[in-house]
């Protein structure tokens, strides 16, 4: 299964879950609550109906009510299991990659590390870092600047310019490219930026699920 198929499965799971909990939702409601474009919601709903997972009632007039069929509940359970399995695989792959990266950093005698990115992947990186002799100096992310995260106040990327550190490690697979570009634009030497390739994680996960 490729990354696009995983995204489709994930969005389908979100829709099935929402419909199972509240059948009186419009497609606009679903679009708003799930953060998925209205046109995509319409496409997903049509697909779920065509596969027999969702049925629709047009009563009262001009308002549709969606119901999960028995097959829909079974599909929701299957997708939930796959989603949990993917999260487990992602955790294991990310832990292994960060552990290897941090060992390599230690071998260069670097000690003071900054994380760039503040999300679930950052938490996994933090667990791996705690198993080494490296020191986490700061966590930076423009989107969460000023927040408390893992015992640190999240700094802006611009603040890193005046900090004393050996290496910046990008700890986000969703925003990795954006963060790297922002670091370089802020004046951080590209040689001092380390990135664990997110595509590698997702590729291995997809291969396992195939």
Closest of 171, 37, 24 to residue 94, by C-alpha: 171
Its pTM stands at 0.63
CATH of 3-68, one of 3.30.565.10, 1.10.10.10, 3.30.420.40, 2.40.10.220: 1.10.10.10
**Taking a C-beta distance cutoff of 8 angstroms, is the pair 194, 183 a contact?**
no
Domain regions of the chain by residue span: 3-68, 93-208
CATH fold of 93-208 reads: Rossmann fold (3.40.50)
Judged against a pLDDT cut of 70, whether residue 4 lies above it is answered with no
Strands 167-170 and 152-153 come out as unpaired
Judged against a pLDDT cut of 60, whether residue 206 lies above it is answered with no
% of the chain beyond a pLDDT of 70: 87
Instruction: Kindly report, residue by residue over 64-89, the tens digit of the pLDDT.
Output: 788 899 999 999 898 888 887 877 88
> What is the pLDDT at residue 35?
79
Strands 65-68 and 54-57 come out as antiparallel
Rounded alpha-carbon distances, angstroms, from residue 190 to 56, 103, 166, 168: 54, 20, 12, 9
> What is the pLDDT at residue 34?
78
In three-state form (DSSP H/G/I as H, E/B as E, the rest C), the secondary structure along the chain is: CCHHHHHHHHHHHHHHHHHHHCCCCCHHHHHHHHCCCHHHHHHHHHHHHHCCCEEEECCCCCCCEEEECHHHHHHHHHHHHHHHHHHHHHHHHHHHHHHHHHHHHHHCCCCEEEEECCCHHHHHHHHHHCCCCCEEEEEECHHHCCCEECCEECECHHHHHHCCCCEEEECCCCCHHHHHHHHHHCCCCHHHEEECCHHHHHHHHHHHHC
The C-alpha atoms of residue 75 and residue 13 are separated, in whole angstroms, by 8
Phi then psi for 113, rounded to 5 degrees? -120, 145
Instruction: Kindly report, residue by residue over 90-136, the tens digit of the pLDDT.
Output: 888 888 889 988 998 889 888 999 999 888 889 999 999 999 999 99
């Amino acid at each position: 299964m490729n990354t696009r198929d995983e995204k489709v499965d994930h969005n389908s799971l979100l829709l099935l879950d929402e419909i199972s909990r509240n059948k009186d939702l419009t497609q606009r409601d679903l679009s708003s609550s799930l953060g998925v474009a209205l046109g995509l919601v319409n496409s997903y709903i049509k697909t779920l109906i065509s596969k027999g997972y969702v049925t629709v009632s047009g009563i009262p007039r001009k308002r549709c009510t969606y119901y999960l069929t028995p097959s829909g509940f079974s599909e929701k359970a299957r997708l939930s299991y796959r989603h949990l399995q993917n999260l487990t695989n992602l955790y294991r792959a990310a832990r292994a990659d960060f552990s290897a990266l941090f060992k390599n950093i230690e071998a260069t005698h670097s000690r003071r590390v900054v994380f760039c990115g503040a999300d679930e992947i950052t938490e996994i990186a933090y667990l791996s870092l705690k198993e080494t002799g490296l020191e986490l100096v700061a966590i930076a992310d423009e989107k969460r600047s000023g927040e408390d995260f893992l015992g640190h106040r999240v700094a802006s990327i611009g603040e890193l310019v005046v900090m004393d550190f050996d290496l910046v490690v990008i700890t986000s697979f969703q925003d990795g490219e954006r963060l790297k570009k922002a670091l370089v634009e802020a004046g951080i030497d590209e040689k001092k930026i380390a990135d664990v390739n997110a595509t590698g994680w997702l590729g291995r996960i997809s291969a396992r699920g195939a």
